[in-house]
Amino acid sequence: MLERGQVANSWRRERWDSFRLLTPNWQSRLPGHRYDGPDPDGYMTMAEVTAFIEGFAARSGAPVRTGADVTSVRRAGDGYQVTTGGGEFRCRTVVIASGACNVPVVPPFAGAVPASVEQLTPFGYRGPAQLPDGGVLVVGASATGVQLAAELRRSGRPVTLSVGEHVRLPRTYRGRDVLWWMDASGVWDQRYDEIDDLTRARRLPSPQLIGTAERTTLDLNALTAMGVELVGRLAAVRDGRALFSGGLRNVFSLADLKMERLLDTFDAWAREHGRDDEAGPPERFAPTRAPERARLQLDLRGGEIRTIVWATGFRPDYGWLDVPVVDEKGRLRHEGGVVDSPGLYALGLPVLRRRRSTFIHGIESDAREVIDHLAGVALAGRPDA
Ligand SMILES: Cc1cc2nc3c(=O)[nH]c(=O)nc-3n(C[C@H](O)[C@H](O)[C@H](O)COP(=O)(O)OP(=O)(O)OC[C@H]3O[C@@H](n4cnc5c(N)ncnc54)[C@H](O)[C@@H]3O)c2cc1C
């Protein structure tokens, strides 16, 4: 196992100081290793996640070589030539487990933002103290965007949040963590080959969730109540102005509708499986309130906005992969983790084999199936098999 940094590198280096998992502790499970502390319903801090993964590395005896940055993988004979900063390897098979979120996505028009406005991505953001005083525009209202908008607003800054397509979820539903419902009802177990629009499922933004001791819901209504101003999707930056899409009401209705449908699925599951008595009564939530008149543009030269935080998602980085298996959008071509080149496999990508594939608790079943395939092929290829 080659790791360019240390074990749990992404958690050590690529998260902000106040970060907590949005999945509850009881859900943090890896093969033979699960959270066994006093607070199963809590959410791990960065230090706790790092310790959890380090614990798994030690317990599993995984042969990790840290500080081994893979700079090239290319086809060589019936296998691959792997180049790292510290040397070369030849191998029959390669499993790409380099993560789905290596680089923050920033729209190209970020280059047109006036120099007087500072720009940050979630990888560079550590906490509010690092930002100049004054207004912040947070672009993107998925898990990262809503969490950073709330933290920056609490620091006393005026915050404007630019909202595109998003996934609204309450933190708890009928008295239980909403992710308990995702798990128990089997929604998270839905397989990639059962999903109608897999491309869309793989591009779905992360849900608007935050892990706090109070299990607070951090949806757009909660942010509005905190004084965050909502605007539409950032469509362009032109002549020093940020231009936002209209139609915020439609965007909100769609997210509300999808949430209702998901809650209906949970209710139906509880009814059909005789679990209604275990949970509180079904709940429905107030629709997302749209601002009376959402601003359609913001002058970025006027001093109102001092910082832009791009919470516009993440993408994998395959700059080191010298095998033609990456499409024009930078996505790996694979079928359930079996990559389009003999002996090449992938793990840890969105909906790789199930809806929960990119979460910590999603890896075990995916890894078993992908490794079964790998072992089957390796065995079939042996002259004595
Ligand atoms: C902001 C954010 C919040 C998240 N919150 C949660 C959450 O609450 N719960 C949850 O379950 N999941 C969460 N996730 C998803 C989380 O990323 C995955 O659960 C988990 O980290 C995936 O593990 P992984 O090993 O596949 O990828 P990563 O954790 O990304 O690990 C990939 C590793 O590969 C290394 N690497 C990459 N390229 C190279 C190279 N060329 N050479 C050598 N090494 C390389 C990296 O250094 C890294 O250590 C979150 C993700 C993000 C971005």
- The sign of the CA dihedral 126, 131, 135, 138 is negative
C-alpha 196 to ligand 1 mean position (Å): 27
Kindly state the average pLDDT of the residues 95-122.
97
CB of 43 closer than 6 A to ligand 1?
no
The answer on pLDDT for 122 being more than 90 is yes
User: What pLDDT was estimated at residue 384?
Assistant: 46
User: C-alpha dihedral over 247, 203, 100, 192, to 10 degrees?
Assistant: 160
Range with lowest mean pLDDT among 7-11, 120-124, 259-263, 377-381: 377-381
CB of 12 closer than 6 A to ligand 1?
no
The residues, any chain, with a CB within 8 Å of residue 177's CB and separated by 6 or more, are: 24, 41, 171, 215
* C-alpha to C-alpha distance for 294 and 202, rounded to whole angstroms: 30
Strand, helix or coil for residue 45? strand
* C-alpha to C-alpha distance for 243 and 233, rounded to whole angstroms: 8
* C-alpha to C-alpha distance for 304 and 282, rounded to whole angstroms: 43
Q: Which residue owns the Cα nearest ligand 1 atom 4?
A: 21
pLDDT tens-digit profile of 231-248? 999 999 999 999 999 999
* C-alpha to C-alpha distance for 43 and 171, rounded to whole angstroms: 12
C-alpha 98 to ligand 1 mean position (Å): 7
* C-alpha to C-alpha distance for 105 and 277, rounded to whole angstroms: 44
User: What pLDDT was estimated at residue 385?
Assistant: 40
- How far lies 255's CA from each of 109, 208, 215, 313, in Å? 26, 11, 21, 18
Which pLDDT band, with edges at 50, 70 and 90, does 376 fall under? Answer: confident
Which pLDDT band, with edges at 50, 70 and 90, does 304 fall under? Answer: very high
Please give the model's pTM, rounded to 2 decimal places: 0.95
CB of 104 closer than 6 A to ligand 1?
no
* C-alpha to C-alpha distance for 68 and 220, rounded to whole angstroms: 42
Residue to mutate (ligand 1; options 4, 11, 361; most atoms within 8 A of CB): 4
Average pLDDT, the chain: 95
Q: Which residue owns the Cα nearest ligand 1 atom 3?
A: 21
The answer on pLDDT for 79 being more than 80 is yes
Which pLDDT band, with edges at 50, 70 and 90, does 382 fall under? Answer: low
Which pLDDT band, with edges at 50, 70 and 90, does 109 fall under? Answer: very high
CB of 50 closer than 6 A to ligand 1?
no
